[in-house]
Amino acid sequence: NAGVTQTPKFRVLKTGQSMTLLCAQDMNHEYMYWYRQDPGMGLRLIHYSVGEGTTAKGEVPDGYNVSRLKKQNFLLGLESAAPSQTSVYFCASRPGLAGVIGELFFGEGSRLTVL
Amino acid sequence: AQKITQTQPGMFVQEKEAVTLDCTYDTSDPSYGLFWYKQPSSGEMIFLIYQGSYDQQNATEGRYSLNFQKARKSANLVISASQLGDSAMYFCAMSGGAGSYQLTFGKGTKLSVIP
């Protein structure tokens, strides 16, 4: 009954360090997303993927890279972390059924602090 | 481009009373979906209700209903008989039609239920 799992849940980085957030879903969903949530800003889309091997930019992609080598996993990378990337990151997935507009299934979030 | 506007940063409601959370949207897609999510203080995102743009009737899910006024481009969430556990952030979101992959979120409304 895992759904969408994010790893790690918490991380503190120093400016300039790199890290990768892992998102894994066991629902065989085609679409996967990375959002960031900042106070007063709602959720903003960073990158998304519509299938294995595909990625696309969202609203705020700068400073992030992503990969979807396996259908069930969507990785978010920070090559050189900056304090402006301090945020809560949410991964989400949804089925890719043609003609169906489905809701997003969210992970529990990952809180990242960049000092 | 899609846009969601939630004009109420915070709301208070007395326990057992009904409350309406406002959401207006803007899109040029003829087909779209509207969603509401709840985020309690624990941080997870909980899907509440969905309304399709071609649905003739307003969506309802238990104590939640979506007051959909297409001409006004509004999709307000109505919570009946508020409970203390309803205290949370509430986000309105929208998705374009088939072939559109992204959900766009509003900035949220913080609801506080007063005993």
CB–CB of A101 and B104 under 8 A? no
Q: From chain B, pick out residues whose CB is under 8 angstroms from the CB of A33.
A: 102-103
Q: Are A2 and A107 in contact (CB under 8 A)?
A: no
Pick left, alpha or beta for residue A71 (phi over 0 → left; psi -120 to 50 → alpha; otherwise beta): alpha
Per residue in B10-31, pLDDT tens?
999 999 999 999 999 999 888 8
Per residue in B46-84, pLDDT tens?
999 999 898 889 999 999 999 999 999 999 999 999 999
**A32 Cβ contact list (under 8 Å, min separation 6):** A23, A25, A48, A49, A68, A74, A91, A92, A93
Find the CB nearest A48 among B44, B47, B102.
B102
Residue A101 pLDDT level (bands cut at 50, 70, 90): low
- For A108, the closest chain B residue by CA position comes to B44
**Distance from C-alpha of A21 to C-alpha of B62, rounded to nearest angstrom:** 36
**Distance from C-alpha of A50 to C-alpha of B1, rounded to nearest angstrom:** 19
List the strands of the sheet with A4-7, edge to edge. Answer: A4-7, A19-25, A73-78, A65-67
The answer to whether residue A39 neighbours chain B at the CB level (below 8 Å) is no
